[in-house]
Amino acid sequence: MRVIGTAGHVDHGKSTLVEKLSGINPDRLAEEQARSMTIDLGFAWLDLPDGETVGIVDVPGHRDFISNMLAGVGGIDAALLVIAADEGIMPQTREHLAILQLLDIKNIIIVLSKVDLISDPEWLELVELEIDDLLAQWDLGNLPLVAVSAHTGAGLDDLVNTLQRVLAELPQRANYHQPRLPIDRVFVVSGFGAVVTGTLSGGTLSVGDSIEIQPLGKAGRIRGLQSYQRRVDTVAPGSRTAANIAGVNSSEIRRGDVLTFPGQTQPTLLADAHFTQLSEISRPLAHNAEVKIFCGASESLANVRLLDSDALAPGARGWLQLRLRRALPIARGDRFILRYPSPAETIGGGQIINTHPGRRRKRFQPHIIDELELSASGTPGERLALAAQADAPQRASDMQKSLGFADDELSAALDEALKDGLIRRLDDQLYWAAESWTQMARAAITELRVYHRENPLRLGMLRAELQSRLQVKLNLLDALIENEDQLTQESNFVRLREHAISFSPAQSENAENVVRALLADPYSPPSIAELNRIAGDDVVRALSDLRRIVRVNDSIAFAADSYDRLVSEIRRHIGEFDEIDAKTLRDKFGTSRKYAIAVLEHLDSLGVTQRVGDVRKRGRNL
């Protein structure tokens, strides 16, 4: 489904034209009908000859109600710019066309209304030449123009056919499973409760869905849905939608709030944006200027931080950071308009690039501008890789939501980024920017190289210690170890593959003396303190890392072969008798209770055995 908007001067007959096309008077307020002037947003719809239903948003044309106009024009697919033949182009016509261009609404039909009032062909020709001059200023010389009379009906069929042709050429609205309904109207239906309306984008909504109203943060549920006054179970992106909400009081909701899925959107007070300033403005836009931002159906005062200049001249473009006075639920890709609050004037508009920069950007930083440029205009794969540059790997679905890609766009972007080596796939769902991966790998290699130099007789760094130093999750560290050729892991030690413990001749002789001392009485060995006196604690620790000896607690170690025979017998005995106790183990190996208890407690900690009263049973890791 599609939604169009009508724009133009207050006296150019927009509402009358909408009523003739649709049979619906969009001016629903008594004051509007009494004054024959649209004050707030009006809504209607019509069925095109091909059967498609098209929603119509009739926006106010009077300068005093420009904020209402901006609340309704953001979600439309195409616009009818209505110009009265008896008056020609008015200042408000120029402002509305400028706003449409700033919002990137390129599909515009010029509707020359009230042609029944003009009998002089030369006057009509002059008006059309004036229109041509206006469109040329925006490089829009090829827009369709249809002359109509709402009074006589002349040209209405031609307008409908032109509208059908223009809309048929548009791509379908993207569905990236993130529905957003910017709320442009709130009211109460007796017996049903709160109803909100808006133009849906980003994904489908269904009856029964759990939803959230942002920035309010209130959770609710969709009780019912209507689209063009028809009850429906599901609405698709691009539809004018009315949602009956359970769980949220209508008095808490305001125009400009957004209905989304829970946890989907986080309001922000800071946003990066690219901005285009109108050429016909009264003064340049200065750094830290106070402005009003209009985005979707919402608005807020804000201060503008210019990132690459001290002031923007008329017609200039630049990068800026918006510091909002009120948190807004805006999203990447949203188009916005800036206006001076007093005296009121439209300054320009642009596109939101980053809704959560996390900090105030430093100004005049070329690398920051380069990153923003890439985020705004890079290839889909490059933009995906930029989204994947995070502290941790990203799910494809999360990147899809942040970038606003449809399913086919996401698939193409993933293929491009993987082919060009911009991202790394960690599993079927997780991806990480190759640059982020390289930085982590470089940090790990540096940490281990320093550690090996300072601890040459250690096999490597404990995995948990390396994780702490890198401040990453264990699953990410494991993926790094598995995929980086320079890294390897033995037991719980991570080392550079090139590293190996190397004893000096004297240390090697001392190491052999330790092993001989342990084997002299294999099941009642000397204490670790005695071993340290023989060879030094660094050599004893190295033998433990190399698993030539096995420490079962802080004071007792066995030669590896002796330890393995102890464990093998414990496994066999439990397998045959279902249990073993310290006395049995002591007697089998001619040792003392001290050593038998030390071995069993060690195996308890490993899950090989499990203590039950005075005996050991099968552990989870037997």
Q: Is residue 10 assigned to a domain?
A: yes
* CATH code of the domain in which 423 resides: 1.10.10.10
Task: Indicate whether 572 and 496 sit together in one domain.
Answer: no
Task: Indicate whether 494 and 382 sit together in one domain.
Answer: yes
Mean of all residue pLDDT scores within the chain: 90
In contact, 83 and 97? CB cutoff 8 Å: no
Those residues whose C-beta lies under 8 Å from the C-beta of residue 309, and which sit 6 or more positions away, are 287, 316, 318
- Residue at which a domain ends, from 235, 260, 285: 260
What is the mean pLDDT of the segment spanning 395-418? 88
Res 142: pLDDT: 86
In contact, 458 and 501? CB cutoff 8 Å: yes
What is the mean pLDDT of the segment spanning 18-29? 78
Task: Indicate whether 513 and 598 sit together in one domain.
Answer: yes
What value, to the nearest 5°, has the Cα angle with vertex 464 and ends 565 and 537? Answer: 55
Exposure on the CB side of residue 310, measured as CA atoms within 13 A: 0
Task: Indicate whether 234 and 325 sit together in one domain.
Answer: no
- Residue at which a domain ends, from 441, 472, 502: 502
Q: How many helices (H) and strands (E) does the chain have?
A: 19, 35
Q: Name the domain count of the chain.
A: 5
- Residue at which a domain ends, from 260, 286, 312: 260
Q: Is residue 414 assigned to a domain?
A: no
Q: How many CB atoms lie within 10 A of CB 497?
A: 10
In contact, 196 and 222? CB cutoff 8 Å: no
Question: What is residue 197's three-state secondary structure?
Answer: strand
d(CA 457, CA 535) in angstroms, rounded, equals 13
Task: Indicate whether 32 and 153 sit together in one domain.
Answer: yes
Q: Which residues are paired to 302 by β-bridges?
A: 291, 324
Res 191: pLDDT: 85
Task: Indicate whether 84 and 230 sit together in one domain.
Answer: no
Res 258: pLDDT: 95
Residue pLDDT, tens place only, 562-578: 999 999 999 999 999 99
Q: Is residue 406 assigned to a domain?
A: no
Res 36: pLDDT: 44
Closest alpha carbon to 127 in 100, 157, 147, 99 = 147
- In the predicted structure, residue 37 carries a pLDDT above the cut 60: no
Using CB atoms within 10 Å of the CB of residue 303, give its burial: 0 to 12 exposed, 13 to 18 middle, 19+ buried. middle
What is the mean pLDDT of the segment spanning 603-608? 93
Residue pLDDT, tens place only, 119-138: 888 999 999 999 999 999 99
- In the predicted structure, residue 35 carries a pLDDT above the cut 60: no
d(CA 455, CA 459) in angstroms, rounded, equals 9
What is the mean pLDDT of the segment spanning 357-370? 90
Res 33: pLDDT: 43
- In the predicted structure, residue 485 carries a pLDDT above the cut 60: yes
Residue pLDDT, tens place only, 527-549: 999 999 999 999 999 999 999 99
Domain with 121, as residue range(s), is 2-168
Band (pLDDT 50/70/90 cuts) for residue 221 is: very high
Q: Is residue 301 assigned to a domain?
A: yes
Res 29: pLDDT: 43
Res 228: pLDDT: 87
In the chain, the percentage of residues whose pLDDT exceeds 90 is 68
Only one residue has tokens 């008015």, namely 90
Task: Indicate whether 86 and 193 sit together in one domain.
Answer: no
Band (pLDDT 50/70/90 cuts) for residue 57 is: confident
Closest alpha carbon to 261 in 200, 189, 185 = 200
Q: Is residue 71 assigned to a domain?
A: yes
In the chain, the percentage of residues whose pLDDT exceeds 70 is 96
d(CA 414, CA 409) in angstroms, rounded, equals 9
Res 12: pLDDT: 55
Res 30: pLDDT: 41
Q: Which residues are paired to 44 by β-bridges?
A: 56
In contact, 551 and 528? CB cutoff 8 Å: yes
Residue pLDDT, tens place only, 158-183: 999 999 999 999 888 888 888 999 99
Q: Is residue 413 assigned to a domain?
A: no
Of 404 and 204, the one with more pLDDT: 204
Transcribe 527-549 into DSSP letters.
PHHHHHHHH-HHHHHHHHHTTSE
Buried b (16+ CB within 10 A) or exposed e, 450-482: ebbeebebbbbbebeebbeeeebeeebbebbbe
Res 65: pLDDT: 53
* CATH code of the domain in which 241 resides: 2.40.30.10
Res 31: pLDDT: 43
Res 119: pLDDT: 87
Q: Is residue 346 assigned to a domain?
A: yes
Is the bond leading into 267 cis (omega within 30 degrees of zero)? no
d(CA 388, CA 413) in angstroms, rounded, equals 12
Q: Is residue 610 assigned to a domain?
A: yes
Using CB atoms within 10 Å of the CB of residue 218, give its burial: 0 to 12 exposed, 13 to 18 middle, 19+ buried. middle
Band (pLDDT 50/70/90 cuts) for residue 10 is: low
Task: Indicate whether 138 and 31 sit together in one domain.
Answer: yes
Task: Indicate whether 6 and 149 sit together in one domain.
Answer: yes
285: left (phi over 0), alpha (psi -120 to 50) or beta: beta
Those residues whose C-beta lies under 8 Å from the C-beta of residue 356, and which sit 6 or more positions away, are 266, 268, 270
- In the predicted structure, residue 444 carries a pLDDT above the cut 70: yes
Res 236: pLDDT: 93
Residue pLDDT, tens place only, 468-484: 999 988 888 988 998 89
Of 244 and 393, the one with more pLDDT: 244
What is the mean pLDDT of the segment spanning 83-110? 91
Task: Indicate whether 231 and 298 sit together in one domain.
Answer: no
d(CA 350, CA 367) in angstroms, rounded, equals 21
d(CA 434, CA 393) in angstroms, rounded, equals 10
In contact, 434 and 424? CB cutoff 8 Å: yes
d(CA 242, CA 127) in angstroms, rounded, equals 40
Q: What is the DSSP letter of 63?
A: G
What is the mean pLDDT of the segment spanning 210-230? 94
pTM: 0.73
- Alpha carbon dihedral 414, 420, 424, 425, in 10-degree steps, equals 40
Res 1: pLDDT: 61
In contact, 576 and 591? CB cutoff 8 Å: no
What is the mean pLDDT of the segment spanning 183-203? 91
- In the predicted structure, residue 515 carries a pLDDT above the cut 80: yes
Res 453: pLDDT: 94
Task: Indicate whether 153 and 6 sit together in one domain.
Answer: yes
d(CA 244, CA 398) in angstroms, rounded, equals 28
Residue pLDDT, tens place only, 138-154: 998 889 999 999 989 99
| Token output for 608 | 């090989």
Using CB atoms within 10 Å of the CB of residue 587, give its burial: 0 to 12 exposed, 13 to 18 middle, 19+ buried. exposed
Task: Indicate whether 485 and 585 sit together in one domain.
Answer: no
